[in-house]
Structure 1
């Protein structure tokens, strides 16, 4: 036998054995430089993107009504505070005027 034919037969057997090994192990025999690729049997889990939340029309209406009540309550409280301050300051001014008025009138009489 010729040495070239022997080498060719050895190479063909080697390639068949490599193919069988690849089938049994599940990886390809050819390797590329760098980090090895993952096998096809491994499934990568991908986190689902969070979906945008949608509010119903009824929910929006409830929130709007509650906010209007809050605004009305704060406006009422502000008006009451202004009225109380006005009521308290008016008698004090009148009392000062009453005290000052007799003193001025006595000066005029004298």
Structure 2
């Protein structure tokens, strides 16, 4: 079982190859980081449940970290293409990230 706090401690205080310290703060270069800020809540490496939306040439995808695939990091992220229609995209996001799936 993955322990988020232990992983965050190691990433933050020992080593993280995505961390960028500059005068204005500590930032994250991980492409799955939602905010670009190095923080516990926005770290895709230190959270069992994590999701983000990314744009690839005008097509938006929902990326969800799937802990069941942790043994194969190459397949850790599930990618779901979102429809161009905003309302339908929100429905699909709710379907995959809604309350029913939070405790799954």
- TM-score for the superposition, normalised by structure 1: 0.16
Q: Which has the higher helix share?
A: 1
